[in-house]
Amino acid sequence: MSSVKHPDASSLEASSSSDVVTKPISRFTRWYRSPLFNVIIVGLISFTQPGIWNALNNTGAGGQQEPYLVNGANALTFGLMAFGCSIFAILANKFGLKPILILGTLGYAPYSAALYVNNRYGVEWFVLLGGATCGIAASALWASEGAIALGYAEVGERGRFTGIWLGLRELGQLIGSSIQLAMNVKDGERGKVGYTTYLVLIGLQCAGLPLAMLVSPPEKVIKKDGSRLKVSKTKTDVKGEVKRWFALLRDRRFFLLIPVLVGFNWNNTYQGIYLAKYFSVRSRALGALASGVAATAANIFWGWFYDLKVFSRPQLAKITWTLFSITMLALFAWQVVNEKEYAEAVPKVTLDWARDGFGRGFAVNVMFRFMNESHYMFVYWILGTFFDDMETLTLGVGLVRTFESVGSALAFGIGAAKVKPMVNLIIAFVAFTLCIPTTFAAVWLVPDRPVDVRKERGDSSSVDTDDKEGAVRSQI
């Protein structure tokens, strides 16, 4: 038996390896593993999780009559996110994006359930517990899905892919708000949203977990030309990722963005108080729906605009921030006039679409929502103009959400303190004004093409898997 000649072992290994590499890839696999499919799935996950959360919050105070308990829960949510987003970004580089994404789908539904129980039975502690579970889940979700939306896309498609991701998130608000409006359309007075509204929205949020199972990890993604994403073949350690996190935090390309991340969206808390204080129930539901339409329009427009070839990326950045600064200052001036009039009105104002003066008070809220969503598009796109590798983008997205959460936690904390709405509005105005000059400094640093930070620091361990699996390309 031992005298029987066998083929050389090395030739067998080579043959086996060749068979694996050159095995044809089906159309289904190409579609299932494509960046576009994965971003669409991530967008649908976002639709079921923060999309539904937004649908509730954009009715004003989570649909409740008084905003203070919900603002307290939201402050807890964002307070946890201020720490959690960066922690989960580091863990995503260690354990992979997909497990962190799955974890991110588990905490939103308990918060919506808590709002239902509070709305129907008056239970308050559950709302705070739901705020905590939402904060942990949101930290994981935002750290992973933002990295997928930016990192899976080609550099020239990052505007479109970010628009798809955030646009599908707004589908949650559109559907949720449509349900709310249909259920509350006859209520022309102030008050809280009917509790049956929450049951439908909770059901939608439960779809997030099975959707997360469909997402491909970065090393399995197949781009249009058949190549693979750039991934590191060096085993990631948490200590090394923490060092890279601190290095990115000190990088002036990111450091200059911190004020706009903290200060731009402070007006969100005021908008919730504004709707709850001055609008009828059905007008609040309409406001949530109109806000979703405005946000979707922002995602579509900026997704198209940022991928234009007419302007260079530095030009696009400067044009965008100039428009943002002028528009936001005008909106704040408009809102201050409205707030002063409504706060001093006798008898108390109830804005409803069947009554005079509704349009002026309603339009400014919708325009603020358009600009707040435009801000999301802007900061994620500008991050994608600075950095190119998955690991840095993952850490960068975690930092973006960390500082946005700091701003939101402070803003909701002030909202929970029962200060006058005008005070809340003025604080939001000051917070935005302070971010104008630093963001102008940041946009002046935008390059024509993003850099691979691993190459900047001389990391030769990174690998482009299309070098490793180049034969796959010829089979696609």
Region 142-155: what's the mean pLDDT? Answer: 86
Q: Mean pLDDT, to the nearest integer, of 9-38?
A: 64
| CB of 307 closer than 8 Å to CB of 157 | yes
pTM across the whole model: 0.76
In this structure, of 7-21, 147-161, 372-386, the range with the lowest mean pLDDT score is 7-21
Question: What confidence category does residue 465 fall into, taking pLDDT thresholds of 50, 70 and 90?
Answer: very low
Which pLDDT does position 9 carry in this prediction? 42
| pLDDT above 50 for 180 | yes
DSSP alpha helix (H) spans, 251-312: 252-255, 258-263, 267-278, 281-305
| 409/74 Cα distance (integer angstroms) | 7
Collapsing DSSP states into helix, strand and coil, what is residue 106?
coil
How does residue 195 score in pLDDT terms, banded at 50, 70 and 90?
Answer: low
> Taking a C-beta distance cutoff of 8 angstroms, is the pair 466, 226 a contact?
yes
pLDDT mean across residues, the chain = 80
Amino acid at the residue 302: W
- pLDDT, residue 232, reads 66
Residue 62, pLDDT > 60, answer: no
- Is 196 a residue whose pLDDT tops 80? no
The percentage of the chain sitting over the pLDDT mark of 90, rounded to a whole number, equals 29
Mean predicted confidence (pLDDT) in 71-84: 85
pLDDT at 22: 47
Give the torsion through C-alpha atoms of 299, 302, 308, 312, to 10 deg: -140
In the chain, % helix, strand, coil (3-state, to 5) comes to 75, 5, 25
pLDDT of residue 459: 53
Task: Please say if the pLDDT value at position 367 is more than 90.
Answer: yes
Q: Between the CA of residue 430 and those of 325, 333, 434, what are the distances in Å? A: 13, 12, 6
Which of 114-118, 262-266, 336-340, 419-423 has the largest mean confidence? 336-340
**Over residues 325-352, mean pLDDT:** 90
How far apart CA 343 and CA 278 sit, in angstroms, is: 9
Residue 295's pLDDT band, with cuts at 50, 70 and 90, is confident
> Structural domain boundaries of the chain?
27-470
The residues that bridge with 222 in the sheet, in sequence order, are 228
Task: Tell me the mean pLDDT in the region 67-93.
Answer: 84
pLDDT at 227: 78
Looking at beta carbons, which pairs linking 10-18 to residues 24 or more positions away fall under 8 Å? Answer: 18/471
CATH homologous superfamily of 27-470:
MFS general substrate transporter like domains (1.20.1250.20)
Q: How far apart are CA 459 and CA 62, in angstroms?
A: 47
Q: Write the pLDDT tens digit of every residue in 382-413.
A: 998 898 788 888 899 999 989 988 888 888 77
pLDDT at 16 over 60: no
The reported pLDDT for the residue numbered 368 is: 93
- pLDDT score for 99: 93
What's the rounded mean pLDDT across residues 19-26? 57
* Integer Cα distance of 303 and 297 in angstroms: 10
33-42, 61-70, 203-212, range with the lowest pLDDT: 61-70
Q: How many CA atoms lie within 13 A of 399 on its CB side?
A: 26
Q: pLDDT at position 453, please?
A: 60
Rounded mean pLDDT, 235-239: 75
